[in-house]
Chain A
Amino acid sequence: MIKLVLTDEIWKLAMNESNRKQRFQTTVMPHINSAFNLARWLTRGNQEAEDIVQEAYLRAYKFFDSFHGEDGRVWLLGIVRNTFYTWHHQNKLQTQFVEFDEELHGSEANENLRDDEYNPENILIQKDNQRIIQNALNQLPIEFREVMVMRELEELSYKQIAEITQVPMGTVMSRLGRGRKQLATLLHSGINNGGGHNEP
């Protein structure tokens, strides 16, 4: 008798867990590429992006009960972004004697340049444009870069971006405007300097 009840209870619990997972699979899992793309642009590194996305998905799964079937992509991207900022903050503390941002994209830009010299494929103009845009975007302050990625690449609305970034829609608007303008300036100076990284 006891055995029966026990099995039944456990079974119920396991089934709940299984339903929960199934719901997670259909509402959150499909946005994996959006999550990865945002994380990759925020961290500027593949390994870092994978770490962030993994952490974010574990959090999302843990707090899945607080998701009430609204926009799964917005919900997930909000978590990805928060996870990133926590990580970013810790990283900054660890490397407080180094100018973190400048160092990171400085070396990345140099690496890219080096790669390009030895990579015959990069004769292709397309590849070159990609690199120039990527370097320029990577040099933008994070608060501009993130809204541009969400708007230009994810094609999210201001309302969705405002929800993810937890700022008013007016702020989304002005960050997009300033980000685009700053990117144009970076591209302009980049082109005049042979497309390379040109920060002191």
Chain B
Amino acid sequence: MGGGIMNHEEALNQIAAYIDNELSISEADTLAKHIADCKVCQLEYETQINTISLVKKNANYFEATPMFLSQLDQSIHESVGKSTPKNVIQKRWNINFGISWANIGTMMISLIALVWSTSLFLAIPNTEERLTDELISSHVRSLQVDHLSDVISTDKHTVKPWFNGKVDFSPSVIDFAESGFPLEGGRLDYVNGKTVAVLIYRHNKHAINLYVWPENNKDHQIKEESRHGFNAFQWVYQGMQYWMISDLEEGKLESFANRVQDEIIKSRPQG
């Protein structure tokens, strides 16, 4: 918007962009000079800065509830049959085979539903679905409320004893810093009606939560339970349930889950 002397109204109008770093260097320079000489603009600048910080500090960030999330999944799921290009398909089938559309339509919708549910929402019982939702929302919460760790330490000898007396089991605490997944700390969380241990790892900027609690289920290998853009892998070993959740890329998280599982098996051999 040109250099030199600035129109006051124009300057006043640009203060927001100046604060938000949205002006070019030359525009910002010109404006800064004007503000230095203009009491009204100084006041405006301070008012805006104060308002921003008040809003950032106090305004609620409203999150979707887990219940709403599963409701949303459900309704998208139900809309699938409707969003397929029926007309085109109907014509083709009618001409080629003369089979009634109704049958094909029904078949197709159920097949789509089947592929859908097997590929995305593994056919798991409702309670397990709820558990996945609960864990993912716990993971999201841990990132958002700035409450990732109760004990912050990269030293497994600090983290492991921290759980003593807080939970009645002793999770394996292993550091994977040398493979780029440093241990960041530990936390207690409340999931599925019980207190669970959470180990926090990090890979680059991605936080990884590993939930651990005793479970009477039979041992099973790693299963994928990803949803809502978060990747999750769970397994059971020697009466301990492990859930690993992160927004880290699926392949990387899976190989990390495998790595962790291997190390835990090594540290707690069978028999």
Could you list which residues of chain A lie within 8 angstroms of chain B, going by C-beta atoms?
A: 2, 6, 10-11, 13-15, 17-18, 21-22, 24-26, 29-33, 35-37, 40-41, 46, 49-50, 53-54, 57-58, 61-62, 126, 129-130, 132-134, 137, 148-149, 151-153, 157-158, 169, 173-174, 176-177, 180-181, 183-184, 187
Contacts and interface: CB of A to CB of B under 8 A. Distances in A.
Given A10-B108, A158-B20, A181-B47, A129 B56 contact: no
Contact of B119 (A18, A157, A184): A18
B115 A15 contact: yes
Given A173-B17, A174-B13, A57 B76 contact: yes
B62 A36 contact: yes
B89 to A, nearest CB: 7
Interface residues of B, number: 53
Contacts of B114: 14
B230 interface: yes
Contact of A130 (B17, B58, B108, B115): B58
Contact of B116 (A21, A40, A134): A21
B83 A133 contact: no
B72 A53 contact: yes
Given A18-B119, A61-B83, A137-B55, A130 B69 contact: no
Contact of A10 (B15, B62, B111): B111
B47 A25 contact: no
B111 A177 contact: no
A25 B119 CA distance: 12
A24 B119 CA distance: 13
B264 interface: no
A26 B16 CA distance: 34
Given A37-B62, A133-B58, A173-B16, A180 B48 contact: yes
Contacts of B59: 130, 133-134, 137, 149, 152-153
B95 to A, nearest CB: 13
Main secondary structure of the interface of B (DSSP, over half): helix
Nearest to A40: B62
A157 B17 CA distance: 10
Given A13-B84, A37-B63, A41-B62, A184 B47 contact: yes
A177 B12 contact: yes
Nearest first, the 9 closest Cβ-Cβ pairs linking A and B are A30-B229, A177-B16, A40-B62, A36-B64, A176-B16, A133-B58, A14-B115, A129-B58, A180-B51
A176 B52 CA distance: 10
Nearest to B120: A21
B62 A17 contact: no
Given A15-B115, A32-B64, A130-B58, A176 B229 contact: no
Given A61-B83, A129-B58, 8 more contacts: A17-B80, A29-B227, A29-B228, A30-B229, A35-B64, A53-B72, A57-B76, A133-B54
B72 A32 contact: yes
Contacts of B68: 36, 50, 53
Given A41-B62, A130-B59, A173-B14, A25 B228 contact: yes
Contacts of A130: 58-60
A174 B15 CA distance: 9
A5 to B, nearest CB: 9
A183 B111 CA distance: 53
B84 A17 contact: yes
B60 A134 contact: yes
Nearest to B77: A21
A36 B75 CA distance: 16
B52 A152 contact: yes
A184 B51 contact: yes
A61 B78 CA distance: 12
A54 B229 contact: no
B222 interface: no
20 contacts: A10-B104, A13-B108, A17-B112, A18-B120, A21-B120, A24-B76, A25-B229, A33-B63, A37-B61, A50-B64, A53-B64, A57-B75, A126-B58, A133-B55, A137-B59, A152-B56, A173-B14, A176-B20, A184-B47, A184-B50
Contact of B89 (A13, A21, A61): A13
